[in-house]
Structure 1
């Protein structure tokens, strides 16, 4: 998140959504964190404050080629891994 945005406070009203309470995220925060529909947000309470973090999606961060290389390595050396597991 940009330092510029961090200095500006915004107020949002808490609304009822089914059995839950909801608060809309300001567009500047959505854009700053690249939040998309379906993303997961982690909630934490620290020092009487709610801390929200966009949950990192490891699948988007991991190189597909690297995953394929790892899978091939495990496949090639499966016998060795099985013996190590039984030790």
Structure 2
């Protein structure tokens, strides 16, 4: 896949500052209005973001919602650590 550079200006959105994303970026991420994205702040000053994965809660009927949210957060925070353990 070819690398595409997209430039945006920081704009005021209400009382906040933000950026708008062009349709090509939304299509690439496969996101739409209301979806959540995850931002990752790197030590070198760069920021990356990706579509937030959603659990299919319907398939987990009967399991406490707080537990499911905690498990999702655990996997998001320790994803690379858990992947490294598989390789041992």
User: TM-score, normalized by length of structure 1?
Assistant: 0.59
Aligned partner of 1:56 among 40, 48, 53: 53
Question: Structure 2: any 5+ residue segments left out of the alignment?
Answer: 64-88
Aligned partner of 1:10 among 6, 28, 31: 6
| Matching residue of 1:29 | 25
Higher fraction of helix: 1
**Structure with the greater alpha carbon radius of gyration:** 1
- The structure whose RCO (Cα within 8 Å, separation 6+) is larger is 1
Stretches (4+) displaced over 3 A: none
- Cα separation, 2, equivalents of 1:39 and 1:48: 25
- Cα separation, 2, equivalents of 1:42 and 1:24: 16
Q: What is the alpha-carbon root mean square deviation over aligned residues?
A: 2.2
- TM-superposed CA distance for 1:24, in Å, is 1.0
Contact (CA 8 Å) 2:29, 2:50: kept in 1 or not? no
- Cα separation, 1, equivalents of 2:21 and 2:37: 11
Q: What secondary structure, in the 3-state scheme, does the structure 2 residue paired with 1:16 have? A: strand
